[in-house]
Amino acid sequence: MATQQEYEDTKKMVREAMLEEDVPAQILIQLGELAKRVLEDKSLYPQLVQELIASELADEEDVSKEIDFQLVGAIVALGEMTKQMIESGEIEA
């Protein structure tokens, strides 16, 4: 379990990445929702990879063709964190 400081550091990193990469919060939420569906239906993994590449959050050579559960879990967490940050007013939707 992350400490409060680790959580705050991660939120700061998410905000900075969104600004630097010009990634809308809604894209992160959509990717998080798709990643959740991948956990239920592994055949959706290629779609998740395509969406990551299309949103310029990953390069094709950087993403495993085989399902990478660490990546999927991180995207789920990123989507949920983004939702929480919107709800708390830390970022805009």
Write down the domain spans for the chain: 4-87
pTM of the predicted protein model: 0.88
- The arithmetic mean of pLDDT across residues 49-55, rounded, is 94
pLDDT digits (tens, 9 = 90+) for 16-38: 878 888 889 999 999 999 999 99
* pLDDT value for 1: 67
Checking if the pLDDT of 15 tops 70, the result is: yes
* Cα gap 32→39, rounded to integer Å: 11
pLDDT in tens, 54-69: 998 899 998 999 999 9
Joined together, the tokens standing for residue 34 give 């798709």
Q: What DSSP state is assigned to residue 1?
A: -
Query: For the chain, how many helices (H) and strands (E)?
Result: 4, 0
